[in-house]
Amino acid sequence: MTAEDGVDPVPSPGFVELTGTVIGRVGAGPPPGAADVSLPDGYLLPGLVDLQVNGYFGVEFQTADAAGWADVARQLPSTGTTAFVPTLITVPVESLALALRTVAGFAGDLPASGARVLGVHLEGPFISPERRGAHNPAWITNATPASIGALIEAGRGLLRLVTLAPERPGGLDAIDQLVAAGVLVSVGHSDATAEQVSAAAARGARMVTHLFNAQRPLAHREPGVVGQALTDERLTSGLIADLYHVAVPVCGLAFRAAPGRIALVTDAAAPAGMPPGEYLLGAEPITLPASGAPPVRSDGTLAGSALRMDVAVANAVLCGVPLAAAVAAATRIPADLIGRPDLGRIAAGAAADLVWLGPDLRTRATWIAGHLVYTDGAAATLASLQA
């Protein structure tokens, strides 16, 4: 599947030529000469882009060191993800600032063979206690110019996304301050009315975090966060398509109500890619049950997910979303939202980040900057890549 900017094509045969680390040429039909790699079936897609990853493979970003971050980056291409935004949830502002300074010190040294780190997402602590979800209420606080400034300074350009509740004291002014610093602002863990969400968008907020979850729901007289997210052309919503956080009919509804404004996210936590057991989220315990359901706090509150991005695409298709729209929601749309138009598309000049999904939409091989960084090891896969 290839695309020009803003156009989501139907799957069709074609070829892609690489020039170093970028895509040099894209065409329909057979290549003009002998191909170095020929894929017999499935789909060649842009690498998947995930804007919300709390952890993976047993690693929680909130508490991990450089080796833990590097381990996740190396393994994420096995899920089709080639770029992601590590997420830190609510802790005291001083702890978040320390974490940002620590990560800024090693982010530039993460392995080139791993998924690209696009910056850090702070999900909290400037959120609503009424819509806190798995966040610790003792650490929730109101935004102030000093606290926002401290986080911006600590991130040293690494802070790329902040989820906050605009209805809280200082919320709208915080949006101004963050947007001026080049940070994407998302409405989330919020009890805002539709009018308050609209006011946040007017100040520069451009995203809604995990649509339907931990936010004022849609009602027929007060549209809430959900209603405004689905109808406001300024807003793109993250959606956890694990079919637990949001039911199948509602996932399909979101795509129909807001075409081109849904970005698939995993909201993955440390248990993702791991066996059932005890893990951490926000430095506090969570449990991944053996049932296949998402991880939970001790009170049963959902606490992130164990979702893969390639499975998110497959689940969206299961919900009735056309494949091209599901792919765009995992590639071009989040890439553009985070300010990386060089990612998330197969087009001349774009980064040569690619993923081969089989007909079952599971990852067979992944390339980052033109280099093969993952294969599923199957004989048929290896034979195709060596052709």
H or E element at residue 236: strand 236-240
String of DSSP letters for 266-329? --B-TTTTS-SEEEEETTEEEEE-TTSPPPB-TTS-B-SB---HHHHHHHHHHTT--HHHHHHH
CA distances to 116, 167, 259, 346 from 53, rounded to whole Å, are 13, 25, 24, 24
What residues have CB less than 8 Å from 185, skipping those under 6 apart?
A: 161, 162, 164, 174, 175, 178, 179, 200, 204, 205, 206, 207
C-alpha Rg value of the chain to the nearest Å: 20
Give the integer Cα–Cα distance in Å for 228 and 261: 12
Give the integer Cα–Cα distance in Å for 345 and 7: 10
Residue 33, beta-bridge partner list = none
Name the maximum alpha-carbon separation found in the chain: 63
Helix axes 309-318, 248-257, angle to 10 degrees: 90
Taking residue 79's Cβ as centre, other Cβ atoms within 10 Å add up to 28
Give the integer Cα–Cα distance in Å for 1 and 42: 10
Does residue 352 contact residue 6 with C-beta atoms inside 8 Å?
A: no
β-pair type (120-123, 81-89): parallel
3-state percent helix, strand, coil for the chain, nearest multiple of 5? 30, 25, 45
- Give me the active site residues, please: 267
